[in-house]
Chain A
Amino acid sequence: MLETLNQPPAAASPALVEVVKVTKIYPPDVVALKNVSLSAAKGELVFLTGPSGAGKTTLLKLLCRQEIPTKGLIEIDGNDLNNLSDNDIQKLRQRIGVAYQDFKLLPRLSVFQNIAMPMEVQFKSPGEIRSRVTELLEKLGIREKQHKPAGKLSRGEQQRVAIARAAASSPLLLLADEPTGNLDAATTGLVMALFQELNDNGSTIIIATHDESIYQGSNHRKFELKQGELF
């Protein structure tokens, strides 16, 4: 393990995520991010930590173009997000899986349908969708809930559905916002194992969390935000 804190693991592997001097101000004057620069290499797993209100969610929203930076540059896989057409943004979003802090599930659709959505959007075959969704349900221990409406699940179960949906299409980049906030230690283990597996298969993963237990002792890099600034 040659990795040292806040240093990209191998200079040779190109950055997948490049954030350069980004500032985000919510109107009128909430400064959520101040001059933040960071990068994540292709295939890397990094943690984004910091107290509540530090700007973690904001940074992830900028990465999937849910919000637009007030200042600064963001590149994903070589694409400058400021210069992408609407259609290109959608194409890029297909390769980014996001487990939102507030889940953004469709409460009336079943667990299965929720997880299948990103693959449907990409016109994957029904067989492929079925086997992938079943696999994820299995791995996260919610197989028997698959036909229930997502809205009828407990917070912890909904969280796992959100994670499964983000992981469904084996994305190039996976953004997980507080993925273990509602989970016990055992389920946290399941989720982290899934992330590790995706990472081993080449996905770049950014996990925003203030759950020390999941990053303590790991040798992945971590970025710490405090009041919108990187430390």
Chain B
Amino acid sequence: MRFALFIFTQTLRNIRHSWGVQLMTLLTVILSVLIFSFFYLIYSNMLQAGEKFGEELRLTVYLQASLSPAQQQEFTEKVAAFGKVDRISFITPEQAFQRLARQLGNDSDVLADLNPAFLPFSAEIYPHKDIRNLTRIKEFAEYLKNLPGAQKVQYGQAWVERFGHFVKLLRFIVIISGTLLILTTMFMVSNTLRLTLFARQDELKVLRYLGATNSYIKGPVLIEGFALGLFGAGLGLAALFFLFQWIRNHFSSAGFLQLFELRFLPMTNSAIILLGSIMLCTLGSLLSIRRLLKK
């Protein structure tokens, strides 16, 4: 207990001694954590949105002619031959016409003189999870197009493809900023602490003459590293949270963001970022002191 108290007061003394550099380091850690977790937040939201789109993903096959119940059965079997399908619903021109009218709402009178027969008979296919990745969907669409009676297949190709690329890009940014986070925290922390130790060289020398053990000298430095990691990540995540709230409040009316619900990082992920940052900073402080005590 007394040991802990001393290490603690010694740590405070050290921090007061060189608070300028320490503050700079803290800011760097905060910024690194903020940048990384910001991209990670976007990434995880995108993944989530992607999953949701996937659930709503359907392929519409426009057919040349209406299918009788027996033909529908046959068609369903042919589709299932490619892969598992959650559901297939057949839309008659009348049903399609009603849907169109509903979508047009007040403007539905433009349809007044038209015969529903101008709309094709179609099958809406909701693929199973297994074929919900981009290449499989493409193959599936190709397969459907070649079924007898099929005229055209639609599934929002361009959109799905662009979304896929976007997620890939985000993953890349997350990895880059994660590496950046690791490097900056490690190097900044170990270098700052080395600098402050260097500035305290006289003191350390005297401390050794007075019989200070390694743990007496190491302890405070390790705690400094630990504290930098803890407060750096804590403040970084808090900043991210406020940024997140602000974005949600100011852009929630923007169409693109309305498509899916924005969610903050889950507790476990935040905890992992916090622990990771503490580990990195403590490791950095260990590095700084190892070289010093070797002499």
Q: Which residues of A contact B (CB under 8 A)?
A: 64, 66, 86-87, 90-96, 98, 104-106, 117-118, 120-123, 125-126, 165
Question: Shortest distance in angstroms between B42's beta carbon and chain A's nearest beta carbon?
Answer: 48
Cα distance, A86 to B206, chains bound together (Å)? 16
Task: Please indicate which of the listed interface residues A66, A121, A125 has the most CB atoms of chain B within 10 Å of its own CB.
Answer: A121
A-B contact count (CB 8 A): 49
Name the residue on A nearest B293 (C-beta). A86
Determine chain B's interface SS by DSSP, over half rule.
helix
User: What residues of B have a CB within 8 angstroms of the CB of A125 in the complex?
Assistant: 2
Question: Shortest distance in angstroms between A198's beta carbon and chain B's nearest beta carbon?
Answer: 17
Query: Using a Cβ–Cβ cut-off of 8 Å, how many residues does chain B contribute to the interface with A?
Result: 18
Task: Please indicate which of the listed interface residues B2, B6, B10 has the most CB atoms of chain A within 10 Å of its own CB.
Answer: B6
Given that A104-B206, A106-B203 are contacting pairs, would A122 and B214 also be in contact in the complex, using a CB cutoff of 8 Å? Answer: no
Q: Which residues of B contact A (CB under 8 A)?
A: 2-3, 5-6, 10, 202-203, 205-214, 216
Are A118 and B210 within 8 A (Cβ)?
yes
Name the residue on A nearest B212 (C-beta). A121
Name the residue on A nearest B10 (C-beta). A120
In the A-B complex, the 3 residue pairs with the smallest Cβ-Cβ separation, listed nearest first, are A94-B211, A93-B211, A121-B212
Are B2 and A123 within 8 A (Cβ)?
yes
Question: Shortest distance in angstroms between B15's beta carbon and chain A's nearest beta carbon?
Answer: 15
Given that A121-B216, A125-B2 are contacting pairs, would A64 and B209 also be in contact in the complex, using a CB cutoff of 8 Å? Answer: yes
User: What residues of B have a CB within 8 angstroms of the CB of A126 in the complex?
Assistant: 5
Question: Shortest distance in angstroms between A65's beta carbon and chain B's nearest beta carbon?
Answer: 9
Are B206 and A122 within 8 A (Cβ)?
no
Question: What would be 25 A-B contacts, judged by CB atoms less than 8 Å apart?
Answer: A64-B209, A86-B214, A87-B213, A87-B214, A90-B208, A90-B211, A90-B212, A90-B213, A90-B214, A91-B211, A92-B211, A93-B209, A94-B211, A104-B209, A106-B203, A117-B207, A117-B210, A120-B10, A121-B212, A121-B213, A122-B211, A123-B2, A123-B3, A125-B2, A165-B210
